[in-house]
Amino acid sequence: MNDEILILAIETSCDDTSAAILKNDMVLSNIVSSQKIHEIYGGVVPELASREHDKLIVPVVKEALSKANISLTEIGVIAYTRGPGLLGSLLVGSSFAKSLSISLNIPIIEINHMQAHILSIYIKDNISSPKFPFLALTVSGGHTQLVRVESAVNFKELGATLDDAAGEAFDKCGKMIGLDYPAGPIIDNLAKNGNPKSFKFSKPRVEGLNFSFSGLKTNFKNFINSKSDQFIKSNMNDLCASLQNTIVEILIDKIKKAYNKHDIPHFVICGGVSANSFLRHKLKELEISDNIYTYFPKVSYSTDNAAMIGIAAYFKFKQSIFGKLTDQSTSRYPIS
C-alpha cells in the first residue's frame, strides 16, 4: 500500500458544513462554514440545518480542494461523519460522500463524530499529544462525555451527561440573562470582570462518572426569576463568573474522579467548551496540584470541523478499516 494518502473528509453532523483535505496526518485545508441562520432562533433548527448543508456542501468541498491545491481525482479515500448528530444533517454528508466514492471509485471510511473530536489531538500541527491509553473529556453544545481511549480504534465510554450538555448549560443560562446564542464565549468574556464566588448555584450529586446540568439550569432560572432586570444588568459579570465557576467545578470534580479510578493522569479536553479560559486556567492548576496533564487540540480543531474526521479516517485507513456504501447514518451512534 502506498504510504501517502490524500483524504477528503466531510463533517455535517450539526450546524457546521465542513470539508478538509489531509495528506496522512497533515491538514492541507480545513474549511468550516458555520450556519448563521440559527442565531435568531437561539439554538439549532434541525430542518434548516439540513437545508443549509445541502446548499453549502458543494461550494465548501470545492473550496477545500482549491485551498489545498488538489484536484478531486488525486483523492484516495473519502471520510464522512456517520453519527452521532442531527439525522437530516448527517444524511447530506453521507449521501454526498457515498456518491463521490462511487463516481471516483475510491473507498469510503465512516467516522464516529465523538471519536474524531478526541483524535483531533493527533493532527500534526498540534503542540503535544498523549500516548495511548489516555482519558478524554468532550464538552460541547451537544455532548459531555468521559472516555477511556485504548487505541485510535478502541474507545470506552466511562460517563456522559444524563440530561443537558455543558455547552447547553452555558447557552441556556446565558439566554435567561439576555445573552445571544451561543452564550458560552460571551459568558467566558464577561466572567473575566466578575467574581466567581458572588453567587452560589447548585451542583448535582451524580454517581460515578456521569454528569447532570439540568438541576443547575433550574436553580439558575429560579434565581434569575426572583430578581429584577436591573439587578441582572448590574450584576451581569458576577452572574457569569459564578455560573461559569459552577460548571467548571462540576467538570473538574469528574476529571479528578476519573483519574482516581483509572490511574491515568493524561486527559485530552475537546469540544467547544474546551475553549473556555477559566476551565483552562483551572486545568493548569490541576497539573501542579494533582499531576494531571491536559492536552488541547488547537481551537480550530476543537469545535466541529472536518479535519478531525480526516485524522480519525487516517488511523482507520492505516488499519484498512473501510466503510460500506450500505452503512446507515445514525443520530445515536455510541462511541464504544
User: Are 137 and 251 a contacting pair, CB within 8 Å?
Assistant: yes
- Distance, in Å, from the CA atom of 161 to the CA atom of 141, rounded to the nearest integer, reads 12
- The three cell numbers locating residue 181: 446564542
Burial group, residue 2, by CB count within 10 angstroms (0-12, 13-18, 19+): exposed
Residues within window 264-283 making contact with ligand KG4, judged by CB under 6 A: 271-273, 275-276
**Which listed residue (52, 110, 164, 188) binds ligand KG4 by CB under 6 A?**
188
Binding mask 82-121 for ligand KG4 (x = CB under 6 A): ----------------------------------------
- Distance, in Å, from the CA atom of 135 to the CA atom of 131, rounded to the nearest integer, reads 10
Closer CB to ligand KG4, 92 or 100, in the complex: 92
Least distance between ligand KG4 and beta carbon 2 (Å): 33
Residue among 297, 290, 296 nearest 265 (CA)? 290
Name the maximum alpha-carbon separation found in the chain.
67
Residue among 2, 27, 15, 3 nearest 311 (CA)? 27
Pairing of strands 16-23, 26-34: antiparallel
Closer CB to Zn ion, 18 or 246, in the complex: 18
Least distance between ligand KG4 and beta carbon 99 (Å): 25
Give the one entry of ligand KG4, Zn ion, none that residue 22 binds, where binding means its C-beta sits below a cut-off of 5 to 8 angstroms depending on kind: none
Least distance between ligand KG4 and beta carbon 142 (Å): 4
Closer CB to ligand KG4, 140 or 235, in the complex: 140
Closer CB to Zn ion, 220 or 301, in the complex: 301
Give the one entry of ligand KG4, Zn ion, none that residue 272 binds, where binding means its C-beta sits below a cut-off of 5 to 8 angstroms depending on kind: ligand KG4
Backbone torsions φ then ψ of 26, nearest 5 degrees = -105, 130
CB atoms within 10 A of CB 169: 30
Closer CB to ligand KG4, 88 or 142, in the complex: 142
140 binds Zn ion (CB under 5 A): yes
Burial group, residue 256, by CB count within 10 angstroms (0-12, 13-18, 19+): middle
Give the one entry of Zn ion, ligand KG4, none that residue 164 binds, where binding means its C-beta sits below a cut-off of 5 to 8 angstroms depending on kind: none
Using alpha carbons only, give the angle 282, 171, 247 rounded to the nearest 5 degrees. 30
Least distance between ligand KG4 and beta carbon 187 (Å): 6
263: left (phi over 0), alpha (psi -120 to 50) or beta: left
Residue among 105, 8, 116 nearest 58 (CA)? 8
Closer CB to ligand KG4, 272 or 323, in the complex: 272
Binding mask 283-302 for ligand KG4 (x = CB under 6 A): --------------------
Closer CB to Zn ion, 18 or 101, in the complex: 18
140 binds ligand KG4 (CB under 6 A): yes
Number of residues that bind Zn ion (CB under 5 A): 2
Residues of this chain that bind Zn ion (CB under 5 A): 140, 304
Residues of this chain that bind ligand KG4 (CB under 6 A): 14, 140-142, 167, 170-171, 182-185, 188, 271-273, 275-276, 303-304
